[in-house]
Structure 1
């Protein structure tokens, strides 16, 4: 989400919201794990069943978040696309108040090795008509002056030819895939935890029943 905000909103993200969510999830996991550990230590089927119920609840929450994210993906991508294009127009502005957008696009074009929304032609496609930004040019480690480097890059068309929109979405999709894979792995581990907890609770109840008999 921080990456999406950074690409779409052009605002500096503090990450406080993400930190709060991670802390809350961490506390929940500690509490749930405590039920499992304490239940196994005390051989208490009730605590183990509470542990199982909490794991099932966590899995349902994870599935709900995954389904919601999948359903909202087209809307989020549409918003990102429109905001990305709007910010590019402001990036071409010479007004001081729009310098944030120029800095943003310089950073994106340098880090993702791209130029413009769909390509370097975007700079000359609408008013004001400009040459591609120097951030569209590959790194030049020579000792020449910056203006000479830029002039050489523009005159020889050395700048990046790929648009940033596709690069941004590829980066976001890659991060999303990582989250999905991690989510599936965690769900698998939680299912194993449920099976083992139920097996242990059943074993404890059976053993206590035999002792009582």
Structure 2
């Protein structure tokens, strides 16, 4: 049958093997990208950690861990494909399936956090503004947020009216906000000329939600691409196992047709032994013609 042709099996095995090597090379590049994305989002979340719950730090950390594991698994898969080892490729397929599960978990966690962002930021940002003058950590976090995002207050600059301890006797018509809300200073008097008019809530929601979306979409995309790697790994393992079995069967048939056993000796004359060199005569043989009477 054509399916039992060893040349067809060898060609199919080489095709799947090189495809698996190419896919693993892509996984190596993808793992580096996952590590960079996860590290960047961790840095962003770290800068705004005062306004973010602890559970928001898990998806980017998981993304970095998945990237490191995927790099090791991809290298292992390339080695197994080059060695054409059924065991190594099957182990690679199982590990790749586990990485797929981790990536799906990271994507689900990131998608689940999307609905919590707005209410979380309203509470945490309002609390940070409330403790702005008494807590150094809150003071630094709010200033960093307002300067970095070029905003003022939670919803608008008026949020500071009831939060800052403005001395009595000051002009009540003037807006009193922290210096981090100032968009420009007078070069001579160093007084604030104008302030940021936009609140920080919408901008913070955008930053956090976009980061969570990037984690979710990136992990989902890579996870489904990895399914192709899992399928190719198990296909290659099956092809290698079948090819080796066919080669063994053909070798046995050839030996049987030549009358040889597994060690290569004849099965028809078990008493047969090869002559030693010492048993061979080297003396010339002469023939005498019969005498004629």
TM-score band by shorter chain is 0.7 to 0.9
Q: 2:165 aligns with which of 128, 131, 144?
A: 128
Distance in 1 between residues matched to 2:246 and 2:209, nearest whole Å: 55
Deviates more, 1:73-82 or 1:101-110: 73-82
Give the aligned partner of residue 145 of structure 1. 189
- State the superposition RMSD in angstroms: 3.2
Q: For the residues of structure 1 that align with 2:204 and 2:137, how far apart are their CA atoms?
A: 18
| Aligned-residue offset at 1:53 | 1.1
Task: Tell me the CA shift for residue 163 of structure 1.
Answer: 0.8
Contact 1:7/1:84 (8 A) holds in 2? no
Name the CA distance, whole Å, in 1 between partners of 2:74 and 2:163: 58
Moved more, 48-57 or 72-81: 72-81
Q: Which residue of 134, 137, 145 corresponds with 1:100?
A: 137
Query: Which residue pairs with 2:148 in the alignment?
Result: 111
1:32 aligns to 2:73 (yes or no): yes
Using a 3 Å threshold, how does the CA distance of structure 1 residues 68 and 104 change in structure 2: closer, same or farther? closer
Q: Secondary structure at the match of 1:138?
A: strand
- 1:63, distance to aligned residue in structure 2 (A): 1.4
- CA distance in 2 between counterparts of 1:44 and 1:173 reads 45
Q: Does 1:67 align with 2:98?
A: no
Partners of 2:122 and 2:154 within 8 A in 1: no
- Shift in Å, 1:109: 1.0
* SS, match of residue 66 in structure 1: helix
Q: Which has the greater radius of gyration?
A: 2
Q: TM-score, normalised by structure 1?
A: 0.75
How far apart in 1 are the matches of 2:46 and 2:122? 12
Cα distance in structure 2, aligned partners of 1:167 and 1:210: 65
Per the alignment, residue 21 of structure 2 pairs with: none
Return the TM-score normalized by structure 2: 0.57
Alignment deviations for residues 14-40 of structure 1 (CA, whole Å, 9 cap, x no partner): xxx999867754553344234312321
Task: List alignment gaps of at least 5 residues for structure 1.
Answer: 12-16
- What residue ranges of structure 2 are gaps of 5+ in the alignment? 1-41, 53-57, 167-174, 250-293
Q: What residue number does 1:175 align with?
A: 211
CA shift for structure 1 position 55: 0.9
Q: Alignment partner for residue 81 of structure 1, among 122, 126, 136?
A: 122
Larger mean CA deviation between 179-188 and 65-74 belongs to 65-74
Q: Which residue is equivalent to 2:131?
A: 90
Aligned length: 196
